[in-house]
Amino acid sequence: MCRLAAYLGPPRTLAEIVIDPSHSLIAQSQEALEAKLSVNGDGFGIAWYGPRSDPGLFKDVFPAWSDSNLLSLCQHISSPLFLAHVRASTEGETARANCHPFTQGNWSFMHNGQTGSFSKLRRPLEAILPDHLFALRKGSTDSELFFLLLLNAGLAENPEQACRDVIAHLIETARFVGVPAFFRQTCIFSDGKSLFCFRYASDGRYPSLYVSRQFAGGGLVVASEPLDGKSDQWIEITPNQLVRLGTSDQMTFDLLAA
């Protein structure tokens, strides 16, 4: 299971979230406390927003704690909005194309979770994509495919409905091919202005995800695990709700609504 962290607020260096805290994303890559796998060493990635509408992107297959380029970039890049991910692979080989975040236009997306019987679901799900979106598929993960399905479902126009439609279609496809509908997911994504996140699990065992408006003064942080190793400043994201986070507001949408 992967570990994720994202920040939105006044510009700050990526290191203040990714490296410096006592239970930073780098620390979680070596010793996660709330994941099935404690070590997340199958690659990493960061996406950050600056003067352009599309995000910068850097990712590689090395363990995050051992990559000097990542450590240097995090210390020197300052951004008001960024996403960071460390990977423990469940679907797809260890390859740069399979590392998160994934980006398209102004959108960035990262995922942690499991898709049961993905080998049987993959082809019918890929068949949904129109040619222009299928051409964007560079890797072999369920995560990248989920992102492309969201884009196809109208993520840019209506994120909450896109999430509902894709989750419903995953369940429908599992039934169609005759496999159990087994999905555990946490997702964080952004349009360059807001952060969106959710936790969903078909069996009620939701991967962890927290949000804090106190940890980074003046900004907010979403993370798989509290970055200070404590929970008093952190609130768990409510399961089965898409949460849109802004610097001064928050909205929630029921993912299981019709």
Query: What is the topology classification, in CATH, of domain 3-254?
Result: Glutamine Phosphoribosylpyrophosphate, subunit 1, domain 1 (3.60.20)
**Residue boundaries of the structural domains of the chain:** 3-254
pLDDT tens, residue by residue, 73-96: 999 999 999 999 999 766 657 889
Distance CA 222, CA 245 (A): 9
Confidence of residue 230 (pLDDT cuts 50, 70, 90): confident
Alpha-helical (H) ranges within 141-253 are: 142-152, 159-177
* Residue 258 pLDDT: 43
State the pLDDT at residue 257: 57
Q: What digits encode the pLDDT tens for the residues 99-122? A: 999 999 999 999 998 899 999 999
Q: What per-residue string of b and e applies to 111-138 under the rule 16 or more CB within 10 Å gives b?
A: bbbbbbebeebbeebeebbeeebeeebe
pLDDT at 155: 97
Closest CA to 175 of 205, 202, 200: 202
CA 4 to chain centre: 6
pLDDT at 254: 85
* Helix, coil or strand: residue 24: coil
Looking at every residue in the chain, the average pLDDT score rounds to: 93
Answer left, alpha or beta for residue 169, where phi above 0 means left and psi between -120 and 50 means alpha.
alpha
Per-residue pLDDT averaged across 236-246, rounded?
A: 94
Helix, strand, or coil here: 71?
Answer: helix
